[in-house]
Homo-oligomer: A and B are copies of this chain.
Amino acid sequence: MTDFLDLKTVDQILEMIKGFTPLAAEKVPVAAALGRALAEPFLAPHNLPGFDRSTVDGFAVRARDVFGASEGLPAALDLIGESQMGQICQLNLGPGQTARVWTGGSLPIGADAVAMLERAREVRGRLVELVAPLAPGENVILADEDAAAGQELIPSGRVLRPPELGLLAAFGQTEALVRRRPVVAVLASGDEVVGVDDEPRPGQVRDVNSTAIAALVQAAGAKAKVLGRSPDDLAVLIEKVRAAATEAEAVVLTGGSSAGQKDYTLKALAAWPGAEILAHGAAISPGKPLIFGRAGQKSLWGLPGHPAGALITAEIFLKALIRRLLGAEEPAWLGGLKARLARSVPSAQGRRDYFRVKLSLRGSELWAAPALGKSGLIATLVGADALAICPEDGEGLAEGDLAEIRLL
């Protein structure tokens, strides 16, 4: 009887992945940095915006001059001029005075609030009547309100989105320091596997995993190197792994990872000089026959041949490795996304189950309907919006239970 002698838990494997070191940093133009992780914290080099600005079109005032203003008793102010865009306003507001200001414009000296144009009545271009009071600071951004010099604005490891790129631009940064994108080599093994553009003979199947895993690698922010297929031939596999390892940070074999007689994947990965197999078998469903190893800073993967099992283990583990190499922080709050289960799902103690679920709204509440289907079925994954997670310390989840979900 053959068996996996030492199943590693999901958390044990995720912990091992943290043992890898993020790749070297490189500078890229800000316009090309979308989705990359910042390799250093970004501190504000100076105050932003750097001068007191209006956030609306209107009239700058001293708030205390319009205290108690109302429709019945408007505050009447003398209009003494206009703040020009692109210049620091040199007008000095005395008591009872106001000046025109545009959105983004600099405030006159002495002004501490701006009345919106829509709330003001201009009388013959000399007088402005305000029909409501203003609080000090209303419709104003102070010189250091967006950022104070030296303040940490973006933490290291943050995946750069449009707001972060905008912030870098606001400080004149044209480049961002990010980590080099890892290269992940993908190889499909199995005598029964033919190419996508081949016509499979009876008993053969097309290579689904090269396409799907390469796409997942790309979506995770790495570069995929598709190596094609290998027959169940140990010498060929060893040679292909060796060739891949010279230029890739990770080598992913799909198929041949279970504990059967023809499973050359383990041997091929273990044959790599310095290779250490860290896990052969994981307490996860689907995906139990996972192989994970390392040789120095390179990682070695044997994913199940079933496309669904391969994709789900890649989603959980390979993506975590890629994020680690990119130095990208995964936020803890992601674990807070939840949905109610539309039917009960069985699990086993000590194993973490990832159920493919289709999400829908019942009223305003999110429900997750688990797909009925076996791990070999890729169609059920196509129908899934998310994975619902059944943790190790239970024997399943009941209909109506709130389950943690991971959006796909």
Contacts and interface: CB of A to CB of B under 8 A. Distances in A.
Contacts of A242: none
A202 B51 contact: yes
A396 interface: no
A211 B169 contact: yes
Contacts of A4: 118
A245 B104 CA distance: 27
Given A85-B203, A206-B172, A374-B55, A339 B339 contact: no
A165 interface: yes
A22 interface: no
A191 B161 contact: no
Given A87-B202, A167-B379, A192 B105 contact: yes
Contact of A146 (B120, B190, B214, B376): B376
A121 interface: yes
A247 B53 CA distance: 36
A406 B141 CA distance: 26
Contact of A172 (B51, B162, B196, B214): B196
Contacts of A359: 331, 333, 336
B203 A89 contact: yes
Contacts of A262: 85, 102
A255 interface: yes
A69 interface: no
Interface string A307-324: 110010000000000000
B2 A118 contact: yes
B305 A206 contact: no
Interface residues of A, number: 121
Contact of A385 (B31, B89, B333, B373): B333
A335 B364 contact: yes
Interface in A342-396: 359-361, 364-367, 373-379, 381-382, 384-385
Contacts of A31: 211, 214-215, 226
A322 to B, nearest CB: 13
Contacts of A196: 30, 169, 172-174
A80 interface: no
Contacts of A35: 219
Given A169-B196, A337-B366, A103 B211 contact: no
Contacts of A97: none
A215 B33 CA distance: 9
A243 to B, nearest CB: 21
25 contacts: A1-B121, A30-B196, A30-B211, A49-B376, A51-B203, A55-B375, A86-B192, A86-B201, A86-B203, A102-B260, A103-B260, A103-B305, A104-B192, A104-B306, A165-B211, A166-B215, A166-B378, A167-B208, A170-B208, A170-B378, A172-B206, A331-B359, A332-B361, A333-B366, A337-B337
Given A106-B202, A163-B307, A163-B384, 15 more contacts: A1-B117, A4-B118, A30-B211, A87-B201, A147-B379, A163-B308, A166-B211, A166-B212, A174-B196, A331-B359, A332-B360, A336-B339, A336-B360, A336-B366, A364-B404
